[in-house]
Amino acid sequence: MSKYQEWGWKIFESIEKYTKVATGGYSSINNVLDPQNPQLKDKMESFFIGETLKYLFLLFDDSKSLLPLDKYVFNTEAHPFPIFTP
């Protein structure tokens, strides 16, 4: 596992521990500095699934064939775009 995958796994574990809600889904939190009382909001940001989880998925895609990084680039919203080669 690369250091980036290790960091990504720690991030994923923290997301599961601090933001997952019992009824399904995930919540934003009010205070990232207080892990004892992160204060869940009744809100899941739209970018969470569309960007955060997509980047985590790609980080752990060992096949590297789903979206080869020599053929695609990602914009800030994690949408893949083919690299143009004239």
pLDDT band with cut points at 50, 70 and 90 for residue 82? very high
User: Which helix (H) or strand (E) segment is 76 a member of?
Assistant: none
pLDDT at 28: 93
Phi, psi of 79 (to 5 degrees): -90, 130
pLDDT at 10: 96
How many other CB atoms are there within 10 angstroms of residue 44's CB atom?
A: 14
Average pLDDT of the residues in 50-74: 85
Q: Against a cut of 0.85, is the pTM above it?
A: no
pLDDT at 66: 78
Question: Tens digit of pLDDT for each residue in 6-54?
Answer: 999 999 999 999 999 998 889 999 988 988 888 899 888 888 888 888 8
pLDDT at 49: 85
pLDDT at 1: 83
